[in-house]
Amino acid sequence: MMCIFGLSSIPDYGSRNSQFLYFISPSIQNFLHIPEFGILAYLWMLALDKNSLLKAGWWAAGISIIYGFLDEFHQLFIPGRYASFGDIIFNILGIIVGIMIYSLLAHGH
């Protein structure tokens, strides 16, 4: 979560010196939300899956989705950044993928 916060805290002043992702197209940057939040949800599953995969999945999804909304809100205060409903959709898609991958790898179903 600290990595996501750090990345979303980088201002975008529109110059090559202001953002290390400058050379990556905005479309690809949007798709990067999927693996980013997929990894977050996977790590939450790893931490929470002690007895119940279903319960861990709901907690991991809830925590990750709430964090996704908070991260988008946080970007409203960063120069050159903005909150996006599309980013939230990509975050949720990544969360679903991360939980599914964990479920398949950890429980083989």
Distance of CA 50 to the CA centre of its chain: 23
Q: Which residue in 81, 4, 72 sits closest to 36, CA to CA?
A: 4
- pLDDT: which is higher, 107 or 49: 49
Q: Binning pLDDT at 50, 70 and 90, where does residue 81 land?
A: confident
R_g of the chain computed on alpha carbons: 15
pLDDT in tens, 19-75: 555 566 777 878 889 999 999 999 999 999 888 999 999 999 999 999 999 999 999
Q: What is the pTM of this model?
A: 0.86
Q: Which residue in 96, 108, 104, 103 sits closest to 35, CA to CA?
A: 96
Q: Provide the residue ranges of all domains of the chain, joining segments of one domain with +.
A: 27-107
